[in-house]
């Protein structure tokens, strides 16, 4: 079983993750892992925090001479901007953020006690976990990538940039739409036999756990609401060379909660960033008087970065489902199981 847990506050000492269940014998490329962290920092419209942080992961445990041992991997990313105890308290919750409900739920009187953990800074170590999973999936020819499709209603790349510039000028923010594609996934990951084994449910659950992701669709997604069945289902063909194949992929690579061998295609909608330079109405949680919401350093747009986080989430969920299907404590054992199954499909 593959599992992970993260810890760390946005302006705390560091962000850490423990990833357990990776088989022994996987070569870890730390340079490639850190390229993923760098990718998460990029994208037009990122705020000043990303200019301060130099995200570089260290591997604390679970690896010897570059190979996984099968024991838990400890992943560590230092926060350069570490001043959690010196930050002044905030009492004016930002609409769209965890601030208000977090204070009510945990009994905090300083919003920072909530936002330090609710912040998407946490995703830096999720990307580190995902990068290890990506390297595992690469061993089996599975490649995961993302692409920004829309920003604030604009699909054209240069118009997307203009929207972000407009938002920045107006002290406003942008959301958008991105896709994540996983190619090379064998048929049969996940299962229809139990609700919690459906690959679509697991991927959607993982993707919805990314802060600010508000909608997920597989393949044709909301388009299914418009068309007749005869024009949307992917007809099945067979040839000796290819085996079973489809000419279309409206299903987005998943049927019956299982990968069907076609690329997995999922689209995610991200809401505009909740922190606004020109803040919305709010209420001071100590005085209960109307006030404008707090303003923290913020990204005008983080859709591209969210795509990188989503790649990591998809990689983790696919690696987990892959290990359930092909089980094994060493990479060689997983490879044997994988090859044996792939032979039965021919």
Residues that bind ligand FMN (CB under 6 A): 47, 97-98, 118-120, 123, 210-212, 271, 273-275, 298-299, 302, 305-306, 309
Residue 167 or 305 with smaller CB distance to ligand FMN: 305
Shortest separation between residue 296's beta carbon and ligand FMN, angstroms: 7
Are 2 and 319 in contact, with CB atoms under 8 Å apart? yes
DSSP 292: E
* Residue partners of 201: CB distance under 8 A and separation at least 6: 195, 257
Could you tell me if residue 138 is left (phi over 0), alpha (psi between -120 and 50 degrees) or otherwise beta? alpha
Residue 82 or 224 with smaller CB distance to ligand FMN: 82
User: What's the chain's Rg over C-alpha atoms?
Assistant: 22
Shortest separation between residue 44's beta carbon and ligand FMN, angstroms: 13
Question: 3-state DSSP call for residue 137?
Answer: helix
Residue 40 or 198 with smaller CB distance to ligand FMN: 40
Q: Distance between CA 191 and CA 211 in Å, rounded?
A: 27
| Helices 30-41 and 303-326, packing angle to 10 deg | 140
Q: Distance between CA 68 and CA 77 in Å, rounded?
A: 19
Residue 2 or 274 with smaller CB distance to ligand FMN: 274
Are 151 and 42 in contact, with CB atoms under 8 Å apart? no
């Amino acid at each position: 079983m593959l599992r992970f847990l993260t810890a760390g506050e946005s302006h705390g000492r560091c962000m850490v993750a423990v990833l357990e269940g990776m088989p022994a014998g996987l070569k870890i490329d730390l340079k490639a892992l850190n390229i993923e962290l760098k990718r998460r920092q990029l994208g037009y419209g990122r705020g000043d925090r990303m200019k301060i942080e130099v995200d570089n992961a260290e591997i604390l445990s679970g690896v010897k001479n570059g190979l996984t041992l099968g024991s838990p991997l400890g992943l560590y990313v230092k926060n350069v901007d570490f001043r959690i105890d010196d930050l002044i308290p905030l009492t004016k919750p930002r609409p769209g953020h965890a601030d208000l409900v977090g204070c009510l739920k945990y009994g905090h009187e300083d919003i920072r006690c909530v936002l330090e953990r609710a912040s998407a800074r946490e995703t830096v170590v999720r990307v580190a976990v995902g990068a290890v999973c990506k390297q595992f999936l690469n061993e089996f020819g599975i490649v995961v990538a993302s692409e920004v499709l829309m920003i604030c209603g604009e699909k054209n790349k240069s118009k997307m940039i203009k929207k972000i510039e407009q938002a920045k000028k107006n002290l406003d923010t942008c959301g958008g739409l991105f896709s994540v594609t996983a190619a090379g996934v064998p048929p049969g990951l996940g299962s229809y036999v139990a609700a919690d084994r459906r690959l679509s449910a697991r991927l959607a659950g993982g993707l919805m756990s990314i802060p600010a992701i508000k909608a997920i669709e597989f393949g044709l997604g909301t388009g299914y609401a418009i068309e007749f069945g005869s024009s949307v289902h992917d007809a099945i063909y067979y040839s000796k060379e290819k085996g079973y194949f489809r000419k279309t992929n409206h299903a987005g690579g998943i049927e019956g909660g299982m990968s069907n061998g076609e690329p997995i295609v999922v689209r995610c909608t991200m809401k505009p960033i909740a922190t606004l330079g020109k803040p919305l109405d709010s209420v001071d949680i100590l005085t209960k008087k109307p006030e404008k919401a707090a303003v923290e350093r913020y990204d005008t747009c983080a859709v591209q970065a969210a795509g990188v986080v989503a790649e990591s989430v998809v990689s983790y969920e696919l690696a987990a489902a892959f290990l359930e299907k092909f089980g094994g404590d060493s990479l060689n054992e997983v490879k044997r199981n994988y090859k044996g199954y792939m032979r039965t499909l021919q």
